[in-house]
Amino acid sequence: MLRGGQGQIWAGTHDLTFEHHKTTTTLRRSREADCSICIVLVNILRHEVDLLEDRPLSVSARLSRPLKQDGTNETRYILDFRLEKKFTRIFLLKEIGKSGH
């Protein structure tokens, strides 16, 4: 999603916004593949949505501009997930290295 830019949508800001999952099936498959973020998302949604039933789902992700840490050279990003326009989960990402890819 982040590296390939797939599912990117315009949300009116310069932050990168993506459709992350459109169905319960794709979310379930990511969870089964041990995606650490999707495991958290499933735990949030499992009380609200039958994840075993294939149905439409709205999970979007927004990557915000880098945050500089005072006194360090570390760059951090905010990855904000919106689930079914009802729940939000925020992850703080730390840049671990730059790649030419």
Q: What are 82-96's pLDDT values in tens digits? A: 999 899 999 988 877
Residue 80: CB atoms within 10 A of its CB come to 16
Contact assessment for residue 17 and residue 60, using Cβ atoms and an 8 Å cutoff: yes
**12: pLDDT strictly greater than 90:** no
**Left if phi > 0, otherwise alpha if psi is -120 to 50, otherwise beta: which for 85?**
left
User: The pTM is what?
Assistant: 0.71
Provide the H-helix boundaries in 1-101. 24-32, 36-45
Span 18-45, average pLDDT: 92
